[in-house]
Amino acid sequence: MKPIDSKPPSQIADDAARVTLADLARIDTISSLLGTLNDPRAGADALARHACDIPALRARISQRFLRANPGLTRHGLAQQIAMLGNRVVEGILLELLEDVVALHTELQSPKR
């Protein structure tokens, strides 16, 4: 079993939340996380294990958590997910997926 990232969020750089070429190879992990989100028995720990594999998602979750809870800086990723709720995390994940698709499309389009 993979350890869950329990480091508290601090100031998260915007660069950490940007989609990169490496994220194109993480589509299976993103798909698996979507499946876990649809499982009513899956908790924040299971979601955090998947999110740890996607650095841009991990950063986006922490950024959203810090915006919603500016005074809370000692919460690990699983706690952040639990406090944000599955719907918010799903929205963050779908935004990330849109960015991954946009990057893929940009790379596939011919240069002019």
Would residue 71 count as lying in a domain?
Answer: yes
Assign 1 a pLDDT band (cuts: 50, 70, 90). very low
Would residue 4 count as lying in a domain?
Answer: no
pTM value is 0.82
Tens of pLDDT, residues 48-105: 999 999 999 999 999 999 999 988 888 999 999 999 999 999 999 999 999 999 999 9
Provide the domain limits for residue 62: 22-108
Our count of domains for the chain comes to 1
Would residue 6 count as lying in a domain?
Answer: no
**CA atoms of 2 and 60, how far apart (whole Å):** 21
Count of H-run helices and E-run strands, the chain: 6, 0
37 close to 61: Cβ distance less than 8 angstroms: no
Would residue 7 count as lying in a domain?
Answer: no
